[in-house]
Amino acid sequence: MQLQSMAAEKLSPAAPPSDAAIAIDDVTLRFLTPDGHMMTAIRDFTMTVARGEFACVVGPTGCGKSTTLNLVTG
Ligand SMILES: Nc1ncnc2c1ncn2[C@@H]1O[C@H](COP(=O)(O)OP(=O)(O)OP(=O)(O)O)[C@@H](O)[C@H]1O
Ligand SMILES: [Mg+2]
């Protein structure tokens, strides 16, 4: 029981650790489409990945997975 509590605490940090491998804080990203409209691809997105942590980004098509990864990798 004590081990389960410790694991949950590690997975839900209160604030991103300063040594995080990836830290995205409240990011919104919009594209300007060829016909001149603004397309919001990511809205108010926050994610932290610690060094050595394995993370998956899962969601329906068009929800912004590739946009998020491109943002991280440049
Ligand atoms: N260069 C761009 N110009 C305009 N809109 C874009 C551009 N790139 C992505 N989008 C739009 O942003 C949204 C997120 O796209 P993204 O490719 O990140 O989704 P995804 O979650 O990776 O989808 P999939 O599972 O199909 O790969 C979609 O609505 C997409 O049409
Ligand atoms: Mg994609």
pLDDT for the residue numbered 15: 63
Paired strand residues for 32: 38
Q: Which of 18 and 63 is assigned the larger pLDDT?
A: 63
Whose CA is closest to atom 14 on ligand 1?
A: 64
31-45 per-position pLDDT tens digit:
999 999 999 999 999
Ligand nearest the Cα atom of residue 60: 1
Using the atom order of ligand 1, give the atom closest to the CA of residue 63: 21
The amino acid occupying position 13 is: P
Q: How much distance in Å is there from the Cα of 69 to the middle of ligand 2?
A: 9
Label residue 19 by pLDDT band (50, 70, 90). confident
**What mean pLDDT is reported for the chain?**
83
CB count within 10 Å of CB 42 equals 16
Map out the domains of the chain as residue ranges.
Answer: 2-73
CA pair distance 70, 48, nearest whole angstrom: 16
CB count within 10 Å of CB 68 equals 20
Ligand nearest the Cα atom of residue 36: 1
Q: Which of 9 and 50 is assigned the larger pLDDT?
A: 50
Q: Is the pLDDT of residue 5 over 90?
A: no
**What number is the average pLDDT over the span 25-54?**
95
And the tokens for 1? 């029981």
